Amino acid sequence: MSSSNRRFNSTVRCDADVVSPELTELGRIIQTLPAAQYPELEVAFRRVVNTAIRRRQTLDGVQEALSQLRVDIKYLMFDLEVTRRERDQLRQQMED
């Protein structure tokens, strides 16, 4: 196995938890290609893997932001309810 193949193997293994099993399998298939076809497909495959990783990172960031937004909304709703109660209490005191 050439050093190029070893680098490619480690890239696929490192990213297997991030990329889909289908991409991992495609990487294994590309590794079995003849040496003349391998380099060009390896470059294309790495671009696809990098794009998949960036998409996953973006999705993770969006999910985290949505989770934080949900928490923030809950705090705001609580604060709004407390403010309304305080307002109502003050109105009641002013009427008395």
Output the pLDDT for position 15.
55
- Position 2 confidence tier, pLDDT thresholds 50, 70, 90: very low
> 49 and 23 in contact (C-beta within 8 Å)?
yes
Output the pLDDT for position 10.
44
Q: Which H or E run includes 69? A: helix 38-95
Output the pLDDT for position 39.
87
pLDDT(21) > 60? yes
pLDDT(9) > 60? no
Angle (nearest 5°) at CA 10 between 6 and 11: 115
Tell me the per-residue pLDDT of 25-78, one tens digit each, with 9 for 90 and over. 999 999 888 888 888 899 999 999 999 999 999 999 999 999 999 999 999 999
> 28 and 12 in contact (C-beta within 8 Å)?
yes
Residue 49's Cβ-count burial label (10 Å; 0-12, 13-18, 19+) is: buried
Question: Distance between CA 50 and CA 37 in Å, rounded?
Answer: 20
Task: Tell me which residue has tokens 């934080």.
Answer: 68
